[in-house]
Each structure stands twice: as structure tokens, then as C-alpha cells.
Amino acid sequence: MLSIKNLHASVDDKEILKGLSLEVKAGEVHAIMGPNGSGKSTLGNVLAGREAYEVTEGEILLDGKDLLELSPENRAREGVFLAFQYPVEIPGVSNINFLKTALNEIRAYKGLPPLEAREFLNRVKEKQKLVEFDAKLANRSLNEGFSGGEKKRNEIFQLAMLEPKLGILDETDSGLDIDALRIVARGVNQLRSQENAFIVITHYQRLLEYIVPDFVHVLYKGRIVRSGTKELALELEEKGYDWIKETVDAEKAV
């Protein structure tokens, strides 16, 4: 589904991703871990198409389509969804109105008619239940005055509404209490299918107990330096990143 080859990306002429490669197949969940500042959010932003990030080398294909050619909105319409690490507040834009606009623009892109009001509301209700997202929040301005956890939950609510092909969760677990974490994980698990895939960026093994990944990757200094199965996450939890940093830095020094 997603194929990233030798990706180099920089911000303000500072190279952050330095030759990252990753293959994600439909039906898979990939976890990406790594120390602060290693480039995890940068990867998410580059996938979503944030203009400040300049791709200097490499390619990203989504089901064979060149993502780098597409505007952020067309990437979203092709099925890329980034649940932001820091969702922005947009006072005055109602959550529901925003979702309706987004959903219908995505449908129009696919040649589908807009959802009827009732269908839309049914879907809202169903997905609200799925992620136990308070109806009151859904009717408020987008993220305005939401607590950190509510914002994260809203990201997952949007994900559930838009049903993307590729969901990228950037530290969705941070700021969530235990119950919210379980609810979000359960939502994601119910959305998992053979047609979609997830990239889950996290610092904590805890989330991966709920959303069990097929693969775990360690990102360090802009590259994936270790890949393994869910046991790798356990090992990281136990030992920290130092042992990886040391071996990688040693390899580099050679």
C-alpha cells in the first residue's frame, strides 16, 4: 500500500529525514518509535504534505500513486490521514460542519454524491459511539477549548468518520488517560481491516498492548535503524534507546 524509498527531507535547509525506507502492506499495523527529535512527526507531516518540509530525495508511493505530486487535500482524498500530535484549535469552525465539508469533498473526488443529511448524522452517531466522543464536543468549534485528551480523541473520531486507507497516529496516546487509551485503541482495532493500514507513532509500549503492531521500527537521526516485531518494543521499554544509539553511532563511526 505505502512504499517509501530513500526519503530525504529538510526544514529550513536542515536535513531531518536522511534516507528513510518503509514498506507498509494493506492490513498491517506498523509502530514507529524513537527518541525525541528523531524525525517521527516529520515523517507524518511529509506524508500529509506540509509545505514547510522539502523532500530533496526519494519517493513515496501510495498504491502506486506518487504522493509527492499531490496537494495535501488530494492526499487526504486518496486516503492519507494524519492524526496530529498537536491538533490546532480553530474557533468559529464547527466540528460537524468541518467534517461534513471534508467528507463530501472526499466523496466528490471519488465521484460520489454528497451524503444525505440523515446518512451523515447516522454516521456521526455511530462513530461517536465507537470512540465514545461526547456529542457536545462534536457540536462545538473545532478543538476550541478542548483538553489535550479531548483533542486526541477528536482526531480518532475524525479518522473514524473519514475511513482513510492509511491512518498515521502521531503520539495519539500521549495525554490520554488509561480509559481513553483503551477506547481509542478499541476504536482503531475496529477500524482495522484488510483494506487499510496504520502507522502508529508512540513512545510507549503500553499503547502497543492494545493496538498490536505487526512490525516495530526504531527511527533515529532520520533513518530507520532497527525493525522487528512487537517484542522489539518490549526490549526498548526495558533498555531505553542508549544501546541502539551506541551501536548505530558506532556503525556510523566505522
The least CB distance from residue 214 to ligand ATP, in Å, is 21
Within 39-78, the residues that bind other proteins by CB under 8 A are 48-51, 71-73, 75-77
DSSP string, the chain: -EEEEEEEEEETTEEEEEEEEEEE-TT-EEEEE--TTSSHHHHHHHHHT-TTSEEEEEEEEETTEEGGGS-HHHHHHHTEEEE-SSPPPEEEEEHHHHHHHHHHHHHHHTTPPPPPHHHHHHHHHHHHHHTT--HHHHTSEETTT--HHHHHHHHHHHHHHH--SEEEEESTTTT--HHHHHHHHHHHHHH--TT-EEEEE-S-HHHHHHS--SEEEEEETTEEEEEE-HHHHHHHHHH-SHHHHHHHHHHHH-
The least CB distance from residue 170 to other proteins, in Å, is 12
Q: Which is nearer to Mg ion, 150 or 170 (CB)?
A: 170
Q: Which is nearer to ligand ATP, 12 or 231 (CB)?
A: 12
Instruction: Choose one: 82-90, 112-120, 193-201, 233-241; the region binding other proteins (CB under 8 A).
Output: 82-90
The least CB distance from residue 145 to ligand ATP, in Å, is 24
The site string for other proteins over 194-233 (x = CB under 8 A, - otherwise) reads ----------------------------------------
Determine if 88 is a binding residue for other proteins (CB under 8 A): yes
Q: Which is nearer to ligand ATP, 210 or 241 (CB)?
A: 241
Closest among 229, 230, 220, 227 to 250, alpha carbons compared:
220
Instruction: Choose one: 35-43, 80-88, 218-226, 244-252; the region binding other proteins (CB under 8 A).
Output: 80-88
Q: Which is nearer to ligand ATP, 36 or 194 (CB)?
A: 36
The least CB distance from residue 85 to Mg ion, in Å, is 5
Determine if 139 is a binding residue for other proteins (CB under 8 A): no
**Structural element, H or E, at residue 141:** strand 141-142
The least CB distance from residue 163 to other proteins, in Å, is 12
Q: Which is nearer to ligand ATP, 103 or 199 (CB)?
A: 199
Binding site for Mg ion (CB under 5 A): 40-41, 85
